């Protein structure tokens, strides 16, 4: 079940038939999940090879088994439906004539028991990365090593799977933007000892752009190609030094990177030469940009930000990777959190005039953009920020942390007021 599983299983089955002359029966879980229509389309394709037989397992009724079916996690629904469907596996296998081998999915490992009973060799087709497979194999040893001393979530930073890619603990978590710190404050004995007030995570709360009136800058942005414009904005508090600003301007000018740059103070506004030479690729906003609307528009590909927390959340909520250029206060900590814990940012550094002003600005700008948008690092960052975008949306849904917390406080207030 689930297209991310069904598609590779179907492709694998096709290959076994076409390339290896094996007759394959693909046993499919019958479901009314939203993906069912696409599933039917894939399985009903007239181009499937003749020796690939699609067999639907009898439908199951799990409505009563899952409380709040529509709000249950996809994983819960998937495991429950698959588990129930597999009750018919033994009789189906006997009916189709005991196969020579059975290849099952990660969510259907109960099939191993059935295969044992029927003496059918069983295999797992794991449709995920080798790194995750290594981690799953390693889990048992890790559990023994921890011997109940702490939870996985409490492990610091990276888990080094022997001989394999290390795994970030934060990458394994499904929900919440800062699960570790939130759990720490709420549950760690240290915080229980010191005077810690009740702590209610209510975010990510970001600004709702009220007037989507078509300002000049949105009009310009809308005309740019998708995923092409870097949005640059530093906070209301700190600004770049004159040298840094000039270097950044030179970098933008030479790289011809499409950009929108909010430069607040009129005295800092780049000169007329810069404005002229970047007229085709850039837009300079000298006052206030409708930031949330800018981040929400498809041409915006990323955000060069001072890492004020609002800006960071607004970027994440819109699934945009960040070039983190903190200026002061907690912005440096935010930048580290975004780059090293959440994995959604690359850290920028632009010391003025290191290798000749213009060259260094251009080189660095290209480097940041490349790291954020291209290659393996860029892929990981963009994938991570999309995941967090979904988590953020989920966290604000009913039955999730950020929905529960405010309603819990609100209930208390209502009781106290009555």
- The residues assigned a catalytic role are 5, 105
166 binds ligand UDP (CB under 6 A): no
Name which position in 291, 391, 401, 405 contacts ligand UDP (CB under 6 A): 291
- Three-state secondary-structure class, residue 243: helix
**Of how many residues is the chain composed?**
418
Question: Rounded to 5 degrees, what are φ and ψ at 159?
Answer: -105, 125
Query: If you compute the radius of gyration of the chain from its CA atoms, what whole number of angstroms results?
Result: 27
Using the minimum distance from each CB to ligand UDP, give the nearer residue, 203 or 308: 308
List 109, 165, 188, 236, residue binding ligand UDP (CB under 6 A)? 236
Q: Could you give the angle at the alpha carbon of 187 between the alpha carbons of 153 and 411, nearest 5°?
A: 120
Please, what is the minimum distance in Å from the beta carbon of residue 69 to ligand UDP?
37
Q: How many CB atoms lie within 10 A of CB 259?
A: 22
Q: In this chain, which residue has its C-beta nearest to ligand UDP?
A: 308
State which residue, 257 or 291, has the beta carbon closest to ligand UDP. 291
Q: Answer yes or no whether residue 289 interacts with ligand UDP by CB under 6 A.
A: yes
Write the DSSP symbol of residue 55. Answer: E
User: How far from the centroid of its chain's Cα atoms is residue 37's Cα?
Assistant: 25
Question: Of 77 and 233, which has the nearer Cβ to ligand UDP?
Answer: 233
Query: Could you give the strand order of the β-sheet that contains 345-347, starting from the edge strand earlier in sequence?
Result: 282-285, 259-262, 229-233, 300-305, 322-324, 345-347
Q: x/- binding map, residues 239-268, to ligand UDP, per CB under 6 A?
A: -----------------------x------
State the minimum distance, in angstroms, from the CB of residue 128 to ligand UDP.
36
Euclidean distance between CA atoms 138 and 77, whole angstroms: 26
Question: Using CB under 6 A, which of the segments 80-88, 284-292, 365-373, 388-396 binds ligand UDP?
Answer: 284-292
Give the nearer residue to ligand UDP in terms of CB position, either 82 or 291.
291
Q: Is 2 in the site for ligand UDP (CB under 6 A)?
A: no
Q: How far apart are CA 20 and CA 310, in angstroms?
A: 55
Minimum CB separation of residue 291 from ligand UDP in Å reads 3
Binding mask 205-234 for ligand UDP (x = CB under 6 A): --x-------------------------x-
The CA angle 262-267-269, to the nearest 5 degrees, is: 35
List the one residue out of 209, 61, 386, 148 whose CA is nearest residue 394: 386
Per-residue binding letters, 297-326, with ligand UDP (x by CB under 6 A):
-----------xxxx--x------------
Q: What is the DSSP string of 75-132?
A: HHHHHHHHHHHGGGHHHHHHHT---S-EEEEGGGTTHHHHHHHHT--EEEE--S-HHH
Chosen residue from 91, 288, 370, 410 binding ligand UDP by CB under 6 A: 288
Residues contributing to the site for ligand UDP (CB under 6 A): 207, 233, 235-237, 262, 288-289, 291-292, 308-311, 314
């Amino acid at each position: 079940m689930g297209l991310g599983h069904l598609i590779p299983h179907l492709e694998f089955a096709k290959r076994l038939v076409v390339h290896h002359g094996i007759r394959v029966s693909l046993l499919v879980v019958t479901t009314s999940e939203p993906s069912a229509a696409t599933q039917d389309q894939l399985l009903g394709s007239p181009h499937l090879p003749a020796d690939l037989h699609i067999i639907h397992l009898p439908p199951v009724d799990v409505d009563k088994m899952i409380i709040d079916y529509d709000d249950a996690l996809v994983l819960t629904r998937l495991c429950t439906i698959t588990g129930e469907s597999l009750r018919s596996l033994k009789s189906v296998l006997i009916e189709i004539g005991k196969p020579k081998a059975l290849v099952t999915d990660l969510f259907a490992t109960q099939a191993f028991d059935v295969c044992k009973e029927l003496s059918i060799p069983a295999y797992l087709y794991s449709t995920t990365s080798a790194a995750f497979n290594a981690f799953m194999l390693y889990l048992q040893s890790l559990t023994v090593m921890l011997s109940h001393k702490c939870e996985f979530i409490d492990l610091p930073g990276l888990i080094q799977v022997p001989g394999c890619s290390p795994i970030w603990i934060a990458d394994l978590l499904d929900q919440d933007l800062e699960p570790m710190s939130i759990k720490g404050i709420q549950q760690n004995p240290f915080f229980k000892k010191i005077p810690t007030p009740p702590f209610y995570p209510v975010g990510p709360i970001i600004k709702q752009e009220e007037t989507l009136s078509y300002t000049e800058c949105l009009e310009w942005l809308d005309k740019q190609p998708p995923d092409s414009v870097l949005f640059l904005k530093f906070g209301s508090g700190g600004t770049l030094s004159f040298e840094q600003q000039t270097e950044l301007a030179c970098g933008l000018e030479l790289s011809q990177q499409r950009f929108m740059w909010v430069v607040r103070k009129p005295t800092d506004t780049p000169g007329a030469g810069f404005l002229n030479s970047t007229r085709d690729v850039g837009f300079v906003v000298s006052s206030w940009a409708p930031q949330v609307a800018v981040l929400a528009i498809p041409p915006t590909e990323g955000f060069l930000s001072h890492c004020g927390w609002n800006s960071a959340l607004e970027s994440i909520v819109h699934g945009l990777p960040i070039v983190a250029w903190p200026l002061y206060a907690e912005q440096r900590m935010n930048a580290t959190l975004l780059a090293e814990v959440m994995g959604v940012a690359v850290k920028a550094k632009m010391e003025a005039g290191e290798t000749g002003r213009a060259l260094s600005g251009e080189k660095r700008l290209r480097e940041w953009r490349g790291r954020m948008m291209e290659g393996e690092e860029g892929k990981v960052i963009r994938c991570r920020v999309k995941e967090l975008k979904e988590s953020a949306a989920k966290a604000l849904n009913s039955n999730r942390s950020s929905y529960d917390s405010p309603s819990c406080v609100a209930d208390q207030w209502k009781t106290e007021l009555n």
